[in-house]
Structure 1
Amino acid sequence: MQIGRIVRRALRMVIPPALFIGLTAYFGVNAMQGDHGIHSYQAQLRLLDEARAAQVDAVSEQNAWSRRVSGLKEKALDRDTLDERSRAMLNLARPGELVIPYGPHDRLF
């Protein structure tokens, strides 16, 4: 009888702390590496930073394209300037025009 009492007493002394330590370890591991743990939170923050950087790049690219497109509208184009630039780039002239050659290192504008 004495042995049974000693065993029960030992179990009563060991089981509650063991359960407490087990629960603490379980919650500690989940707090660090679980689906909502610290490591997962850090990964989500990195993804958020990457998404914000991609958004900034997309907005800047969209602004650049909108500037280019607005320059192509009819009211933004000057016919004389467009004619001048197209002739300069294509190296063309009309029969009655006077052409003044420039040296290779002289800047036109």
Structure 2
Amino acid sequence: MWTKHHKKRKLGRFVMPLLTVAFLSYFGYHSVHGEFGLKATERLDRQRTERQARLNELTRQRVTLEKEVALLSDGSLERDMLDEKARFGLNMSRTDEIVIFH
């Protein structure tokens, strides 16, 4: 029966912990800085809130414009609305009028 005697090396007991540290470091770094990491998630949340605010503003403007168009093209044309738009577009008023822009 043949037996081999191996000398125990001090370096051998550090291999597994070094591999573990390397593995955890790699995945830890990419979980924070990667394409789907924490920083990317924060950036996407910030963009989402900014774009939601912009969408709400544009929706409000659209509703306002739709109301004005409905007044102008309802079949029964509102004379006051037509007069207001014409004066605003031409930047004209009579001398006895007071103009308040809002």
Instruction: Using structure 1 for the length normalisation, give the TM-score.
Output: 0.64
Distance 1:90 1:21, change over 3 A: closer
Q: Is the 8 A contact 1:70 1:76 kept in 2?
A: no
Contact 1:34–1:40, Cα closer than 8 Å, also in 2: yes
Measure, in 2, the Cα distance between the counterparts of 1:76 and 1:11: 92
Larger Rg belongs to: 1
2:17 maps to what in 1? 17
SS across alignment from 1:5: coil
Give 2:68's aligned residue. Answer: 68
Instruction: State how far apart, in whole Å, the 2-side matches of 1:14 and 1:56 are.
Output: 58
CA apart distance, 1:33: 0.6
3-state SS of 1:75 partner: coil
State the structure with bigger RCO (CA 8 A, min sep 6), 1 or 2: 2
Aligned mates of 1:69, 1:27 — CA distance in 2? 57
Distance in 1, Cα, partners of 2:29 & 2:77: 64
Aligned to 1:40: 40
Is residue 77 of structure 1 aligned with residue 78 of structure 2? yes
Gap regions ≥5 residues in structure 2:
87-91
Whole-angstrom distance in 2 between the partners of 1:23 and 1:90? 76
CA RMSD of aligned residues (A): 3.2
2:7 maps to which of 5, 8, 11: 5
Give the deviation of 1:12 after TM superposition.
2.3
CA 1:90–1:38 in structure 2 vs 1: closer, same or farther (change >3 Å)? closer
Q: CA offsets per residue over residues 31-54 of structure 1, 9 Å max, x none? A: 111111000000010111111111
